[in-house]
Amino acid sequence: MASQNIYILAIESSCDDTAAAILKNDTLLSNIVATQEVHQKFGGVVPELASRAHQQNIVPVIHQAIAEANIDKKDISAIAFTKGPGLMGSLLVGTSFAKSLALGLNIPLIEVNHMQAHILAHFIKEQNYKIPEFPFLALTISGGHTQIVRVDSHFEMKVIGQTIDDAVGEAYDKSAKIMGLPYPGGPLIDKYAQLGDPKAYKFTKPKVGGLDFSFSGLKTAILYFIQKQVKENPNFIEENRNDICASIQYTIVNILMDKLKKAVKETGINQIAIGGGVSANSGIRKALNEAEGKYGWKTYVPKFEYTTDNAAMIGIVGYYKYLAKDFTDLSVTAQPRYKI
C-alpha cells in the first residue's frame, strides 16, 4: 500500500463556498472554489440561497477539479466530504453527492470534521512551508468558531478554550456593519487598519476566565462608541475610518494573543498553528510572526488559499483517514453541530 499512490477527491460545502480538490497522497493536484456572491446584498449568508447555489455549482466544480488534476474518475481511491459543522442545507448537498458518487464508483467514503480540517491543512505538502510537530496548539478562527485546540496527533485533538458567544469573524463583520461597510466586512477592516493608528481609540478587552473568549461585549462597545461619535460629528466614520479599523483590529489581535500566551504557559507547548478564514488577517499573522522572536514560539501560518473554506484541507484529512482505513458507510448524514 505504501508504494501505491492514493488519490482523494475532496468535497467541501459547509457554508457559502462550493469546493472540490484532488490530492495525490499529501500533495495537492487541484483546488477549485466557487464563491457565492448572491449573499452580499443581504449582508450575510442566506442558508436557502446557499443550498441552491451548491446544487448549481457542485457538478462543474468537481468536474473541473478532476480535469485540472489530469486524472480519470476511475483513478480516485476514495471520496472525502465535510460532514459538519456548518449549515444543514449546504452540508446535505455535499454529503448526498459524495455518497452517490462513492456508490457509483464503488470506492470508500470518508467523513471529515471541517474544524479538524482547518488544523490539518498545515500537513499539505508545500514548498517553503513547515509542518508542525506534535504536540502543538491550534488557534482556529473563523466566522463561526474561535477555539484553542491541543493537537497530540492527526486525530487526537482537545478543545481547551473557545468563545462563549460570538466568534472572532462575527466580531469583525458586525463591527464593519456598524461602520456601514459592505459584507463581508472583516477583510475591509484589515485593509483600512493597515493605514491607521492602532492606538487612536481604546476599547475594553473582555474579562473571561480560563482560555475562553468573548466578543459580544466588544461588539456592543464599538456600537455605542460609534453612535456617540456620530451624534457629535455625522462625518466621524468617514473622517476616521482607518484609525477606527486599526483600533478594532489591535484590540481583537490582543485578545487572541493574550489567550494564546496563557495557553502556552499552562500547557508548556510553544508550537502554535492558526487556521480558519480569519487566519488570513494581516494583523494576526504579524503578531504571530513577532511572537517567534519575542517569546521563542514556533509558529505555523497556512497559505492564504488554505485559510478560507476549501476542499484541499478536507482532502488531507481524507488522506490520513484512508491510511488508517477509517471509512464511513452510506448511512452517514450531515451534522451541522459536529465537535472535534
Q: What is the pLDDT of residue 331?
A: 96
Strands 298-300 and 109-113: unpaired
Q: Which of 339, 325, 334 is nearest to 91 (CA)?
A: 334
Helices vs. strands in the chain: H and E counts, helices first: 9, 10
Tell me if 118 is assigned to a ligand binding site: yes
Tell me if 186 is assigned to a ligand binding site: yes
In this structure, what is the dihedral angle of CA atoms 95, 99, 100, 103, given to the nearest 10 degrees? 170
Query: Cβ neighbours of residue 83 under 8 Å, at least 6 residues apart?
Result: 91, 95, 111, 112, 113, 332, 334, 335, 338
Tell me if 140 is assigned to a ligand binding site: yes
CA gap 219, 174 in Å, rounded:
7
Q: What is the pLDDT of residue 40?
A: 67
Q: Which residues, in sequence order, are bridge partners of residue 113?
A: 84
Tell me if 318 is assigned to a ligand binding site: no
Query: Taking the complete model, does pTM exceed 0.85, yes or no?
Result: yes
Q: What is the pLDDT of residue 2?
A: 45
Tell me if 281 is assigned to a ligand binding site: yes
| Domain layout of the chain by residue ranges | 7-124+307-324, 136-301
Query: Cβ neighbours of residue 134 under 8 Å, at least 6 residues apart?
Result: 151, 152, 153
Q: How far is CA 295 from CA 133, 263, 285, 299, in A?
A: 18, 13, 15, 11
Q: What is the pLDDT of residue 183?
A: 84
Q: b/e string for 39-74 if b means 16 or more Cβ within 10 A?
A: beeeeebbeeebbbbbbebbeebbeebbeebebeee
The per-residue pLDDT string of the chain (340 residues; one tens digit each, 9 = 90 and over) reads 445 899 999 999 998 889 999 999 999 999 999 876 666 666 677 777 888 888 999 999 999 999 999 999 999 999 999 999 999 999 999 999 999 999 999 999 999 999 999 999 999 999 889 999 999 999 999 888 999 999 999 999 999 999 999 999 999 999 999 999 998 899 999 999 999 999 999 999 999 999 999 999 999 999 999 999 999 999 999 999 999 999 999 999 999 999 999 999 999 999 999 999 999 999 999 999 999 999 999 999 999 999 988 999 999 999 999 999 999 999 999 999 998 8
Same fold, 7-124+307-324 and 136-301: yes
Sheet of strand 7-12: strand arrangement = 27-35, 17-24, 7-12, 78-84, 109-113
Query: Cβ neighbours of residue 323 under 8 Å, at least 6 residues apart?
Result: 6
Tell me if 143 is assigned to a ligand binding site: yes
Query: At the top level of CATH, which class does the domain 7-124+307-324 belong to?
Result: alpha beta
CA gap 111, 260 in Å, rounded:
30
CA gap 110, 104 in Å, rounded:
15
- 227 burial (CB, 10 Å; 0-12 / 13-18 / 19+) is exposed
Phi first, then psi: give them for residue 80, nearest 5 degrees.
-105, 140
Q: What is the pLDDT of residue 225?
A: 97
Strands 136-141 and 27-35: unpaired
CB count in 10 Å sphere of residue 165: 16
Cα–Cα–Cα angle for 328, 122, 327, rounded to 5 degrees = 10
Sheet of strand 298-300: strand arrangement = 157-162, 146-151, 136-141, 271-275, 298-300
Q: Which residues, in sequence order, are bridge partners of residue 150?
A: 137, 158
Instruction: Give the H or E element holding residue 107.
Output: none
Q: Which of 18, 21, 19 is nearest to 7 (CA)?
A: 21
302 prior amide bond cis, ω within 30 = no
CA gap 253, 302 in Å, rounded:
17
Question: Does domain 136-301 bear CATH number 3.30.420.40?
Answer: yes
Q: What is the maximum span of the chain, computed from C-alpha positions, in angstroms?
A: 70
Tell me if 114 is assigned to a ligand binding site: yes
